[in-house]
Amino acid sequence: MEIEEDEERRRQRKLEEALEVKSLRRIISAYLNYPEAAEEDVRRYEKSFKKLPPAHKALLPHYPSKFQNLRRCISLNSYFIFTMLQAFEPPLDMSQDVDGCKDPHLENFEHGHCHSEERNASSCQSASTSGRMCCSNHAEACPQEKSNIMSNPTTELQEVKSEQQHEPIFGSGAGEVENNNEIAECCSNDVADSNGNAFSSPHDWLDPSLQLNVPLVDVDKVRCIIRNIVRDWAAEGEKERNQCYKPILEELDAQFPNRSKESPPACLVPGAGLGRLALEISCLGFISQGNEFSYYMMICSSFILNHTETTGQWTIYPWIHSNCNSLSDNDQHRPVSIPDIHPASAGITEGFSMCGGDFVEVYNDSSQIGVWDAVVTCFFIDTAHNIIEYIEIMSRILKEGGVWINFGPLLYHFADMYGQEDDMSIELSLEDVKKIAFHYGFELEKEQTIETTYTTNPRSMMQNHYHAAFWTMRKKRTTTT
């Protein structure tokens, strides 16, 4: 009987790994398909232009050069993407045969915290400055694939080397946190072809024969990531970061005024996206752990956090994929330099880490009970299928007297998953969210509404604004008699 059970467990593990490989191949393929999908857009623009009457064409003599400029921008975006993929080291054997695997979730799309101008959804992976880092999400029209990658409780922590440290620091990210997370390196230092297009890769897992034909919606997630990079890692995103991150950082600073370097407080950041908020919290003197579900985000954040050598090292063109609401062609084609800081020399606290995986599966574990001094959620709680479960887990993992700082709207990302019988979406009002929090032992200390945007093009004629809920709640202490 035991032998049969062991065999079944091995078979199940093998199947799960094959499904993870298939999901990861699909994500990598989406990145690799970006240049051709973007080129197809330009061909469509050209086709429409050619249909104009000659007299109308004559009014737009600059359009042929505009199309060539778009191609140049696409090439430079592709160069960044391919260089990023060259640096990524998959945690799985990407060459294994997965043709017989069927993932019931693979065709579903999860709306990660991707709030933006037109429609929202997306997600990516994780990172760490005492080791290696990765990603976050929010952007235009970016439905996210429900990926199996990093979704089990055995998660991968990535470490980022600080400029002041001689050796990379690996750890659970929470001082005494002992949750048996497997620690693995995910990055190497290969260089991509500077043309940004077809080049031979030394990585077997980038072999064309292993690439999948992915729907265009997957490539939309790549465009989403490019916009998220601006929010987290460009000077142009500073305004949004000041709207969202600054109130959180100021509140954390006020809540923990006497932080000890020997025993710093531990802060968890679920839905950490591309990692900037988790890094800023670490720089305040906290042991900071970001948690991110999306491998789209994780691959990107890992690259920025671990492979950046200088500020402004990369140039991207995040606004080229929409011709709508542009004030001028120059605005649409403007370059953005990233990152605006050098992560490894930003002054992070030892123990900073990024943990990949589903928040519920990773932190709904007995090893996490009462571990965290603070939980920070920014544009995160509305990514839940069941927001009540999120709140219950946050209450469980906080120490007595610990604080939950939240910022964001309630744009429930599974609310429009019509026809998906297996999916659920519990969409509570703000009033009900607070009632649930009170039920799980939280007390409201501060609350206000803050107006903000999300991955907004600051020079667009259309600006979506959120009236985001910002609060501090404290977990009640148990009274002893």
pLDDT digits (tens, 9 = 90+) for 105-143: 443 333 344 554 432 322 333 333 333 333 332 222 232
**Distance between CA 83 and CA 76 in Å, rounded?**
11
pLDDT-based confidence at 150, cuts 50/70/90?
very low
Pairing label, strands 336-338, 398-408 = unpaired
**Distance between CA 463 and CA 418 in Å, rounded?**
27
Q: What is the DSSP string of 93-159?
A: -TTS--TT---TTTT-EE--S---SS-B------B-TTS-B------BT-PEE---TT-SSS-EEE-
Pairing label, strands 266-270, 287-292 = parallel
453 token code pair: 């945007």
The per-residue pLDDT for 219 is: 94
**Cα radius of gyration (the chain):** 22
Q: How does pLDDT run across 426-466, given as a tens digit for each residue? A: 999 999 999 999 999 999 999 999 999 999 999 999 999 99
Residue tagged 């993929």 (tokens): 85
pLDDT-based confidence at 151, cuts 50/70/90?
very low
The per-residue pLDDT for 107 is: 37
Whether the per-residue pLDDT at 103 is higher than 80: the answer is: no
Instruction: Tell which CATH architecture fits domain 236-475.
Output: 3-Layer(aba) Sandwich (3.40)
- Residue boundaries of the structural domains of the chain: 1-87, 236-475
The pTM is what? 0.82
Q: Determine contact, residues 266/174, Cβ cutoff 8 Å.
A: yes
pLDDT-based confidence at 102, cuts 50/70/90?
low
The per-residue pLDDT for 132 is: 32
